[in-house]
């Protein structure tokens, strides 16, 4: 088990205890899949070293995700962003970004 997975599990212990348990367990599973992907491509030593570049690489490698699944992963990444006190939000997948642009245009 990698360092990043251990960090996610440690932070998720309190996260899973609150709210809808089944949904939060799914979110933690998505977070773990994301950090395992990052761990395979690069070797960050800490969760705080993960940035936008890593998220974009994840989206490029997973272009085949359904929009609903991609949105669920993005929400999981938002939680990681909160835990690491990063400003703003993580980059959205292209399928979500395009749909938001269509909604904004008349």
Model confidence over 20-35: pLDDT tens digits? 888 889 999 999 999 9
Is the pTM higher than 0.95? The answer reads: no
Token output for 22: 């089944």
Model pLDDT for residues 42-83, shown as the tens digit of each residue: 888 899 999 999 999 999 999 999 999 999 999 999 999 999
How far is CA 47 from its chain centroid?
A: 12
Percent of the chain as helix, strand, coil, to the nearest 5? 75, 0, 25
């Amino acid at each position: 088990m990698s360092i990043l997975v251990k960090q996610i599990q440690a932070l998720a212990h309190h996260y899973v205890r609150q709210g809808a348990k089944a949904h939060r367990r799914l979110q933690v599973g998505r977070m773990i899949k994301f950090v395992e992907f990052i761990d395979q491509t690069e070797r960050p030593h800490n969760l705080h070293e993960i940035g936008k570049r890593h998220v974009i690489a994840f989206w490029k490698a997973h272009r085949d995700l359904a929009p609903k699944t991609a949105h669920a992963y993005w929400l999981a990444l938002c939680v990681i962003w909160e835990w690491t006190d990063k400003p703003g939000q993580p980059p959205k997948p292209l399928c979500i970004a395009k749909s938001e642009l269509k909604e904004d245009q008349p």
